[in-house]
Amino acid sequence: MAPALLDRAETQRRLEPLLARAEGADLVVLPELCATGYAFAGREEAWAGAEEVGDSRFLEFLAGRCAAHGFDVVTGFAERHGDLLGNAAVLVGAEGPVASYRKLHLFHREKLYFEPGDLGVPVIERRGMRVAMLVCFDWAFPEVWRLAALGGADLVCHPANLVLHGYAQRAVPVHAQINGYFVVTANRVGRERQLEFTGMSLIAGPRGEILAQAPDHGDHVEVVQIDLARARDKQVTPNNDLLGDRRPECYGGLTSPVEPTR
C-alpha cells in the first residue's frame, strides 16, 4: 500500500479496510515508515512525523486494529528515541508495542536524519512463532539475515520502501533459502516526491519458493498459511544442515573493521 506523506490520519484511513481484509491472520506486515511516508525533505520533517514507541498515536491505532481483528502487526515506524531518530520496525499486539528493531543499514538520504540501528537483530517469540525484523536496504547485507537464523527465527518480517527495480525481490528468496526460513517483504507502492516505489511484495518459503507476490502497483492483501516446522528443519541431506555445517571458526574476518582492499 501507499502511506500518505506526513498525514497520519489519511494513512490510517487507507489502512483500515486493508487490515480488515487480513482478519484471520496471526501476523500482518506493513511497509517501511508506514506511519509517516518516506521522502522527508530533511531532518525537521522526519522529526515532525516521528513518534516514540511508547507514546504513538499510530501504534495505538494499530493496537486497536489488532484487538478488533485478532492479529499482531509488524510496521515500519519513524521512531523518536531521546533526541535521535530511528528507522524502526515495531511488532504491535492488541496490548500495544511488543518489540522493536532499528534498521542497521541505512539507505541514501536516510543517513541525513536517521541514526543507524543499535538493537542488533532481536528474535521475538510470539504466538509460538520466532519472529525477526529487518528493514528494506538490510536486504543487501547477508550478515543480518544469518544473524536472524542463528537467533532461531522462523520468519523474518521485512518492511520495505524499495526504489531499485527487482534487486531485493530477487535476493530475498535466496536469503530465505540459504537460511531455511520464511520471509515477508512488505514493500510500498506509489510515488512520493521524486521517488517511485517498486511494490512486488513477496512471501518466500524455506526453499526459496515464492508463496505470494503482489503486483508493482496498487493495494494488495494476501494471507498465506505457513508451516513453522519447515523453518525448524535445516537438514539438506542426511549429512548436511544449513546452520550446523557452518564453519564459524573460519568466519573471523566478517567481524573485523578492516577496510577492504581497493
What positions carry a catalytic annotation?
32, 103, 136
Q: How many CA atoms lie within 13 A of 157 on its CB side?
A: 30
From 27, 98, 147, 189, residue interacting with its own copies (rule: CB under 8 A): 147
- Nearest to its own copies of 1, 144 (CB atom): 144
Rounded distance, CA 113 to CA 84, Å?
A: 9
- Nearest to its own copies of 218, 244 (CB atom): 244
CA angle (254, 158, 128) in 5-degree steps: 100
| Binding residues among 33-92 for its own copies as defined by CB under 8 A | none
Q: At 258, which amino acid appears?
A: V
- Nearest to its own copies of 73, 106 (CB atom): 106
Rounded distance, CA 77 to CA 37, Å?
A: 9
**What are the cell numbers at 47?**
522529526
111 contacts its own copies (rule: CB under 8 A): yes
- Nearest to its own copies of 56, 100 (CB atom): 100
Least distance in Å: CB of 22 to its own copies? 28
224 contacts its own copies (rule: CB under 8 A): no
240 contacts its own copies (rule: CB under 8 A): yes
**What are the cell numbers at 108?**
541514501
From 67, 68, 210, 243, residue interacting with its own copies (rule: CB under 8 A): 243
Least distance in Å: CB of 201 to its own copies? 18
Rounded distance, CA 61 to CA 65, Å?
A: 6
From 40, 71, 107, 114, residue interacting with its own copies (rule: CB under 8 A): 107
257 contacts its own copies (rule: CB under 8 A): yes
Rounded distance, CA 204 to CA 99, Å?
A: 23
194 contacts its own copies (rule: CB under 8 A): no
Nearest CA among 140, 180, 138 for reference residue 159: 138
Nearest CA among 114, 223, 116, 105 for reference residue 168: 105
Place of cell 486493508: 18
Other beta carbons within 10 Å of 31: 27
Sheet of strand 123-126: strand arrangement: 123-126, 129-133, 155-160, 182-187, 202-204, 210-213
From 18, 141, 190, 217, residue interacting with its own copies (rule: CB under 8 A): 141
Task: Single out the segment in contact with its own copies by CB under 8 A; choices: 32-40, 43-51, 64-72, 109-117.
Answer: 109-117
Task: Single out the segment in contact with its own copies by CB under 8 A; choices: 32-40, 41-49, 65-73, 105-113.
Answer: 105-113
Q: Which residue ranges make up the site for its own copies (CB under 8 A)?
A: 104-109, 111, 116-117, 120-121, 123, 130, 137, 140-147, 149-152, 167, 170-171, 173-174, 177-178, 207-208, 232, 234, 236-240, 242-262
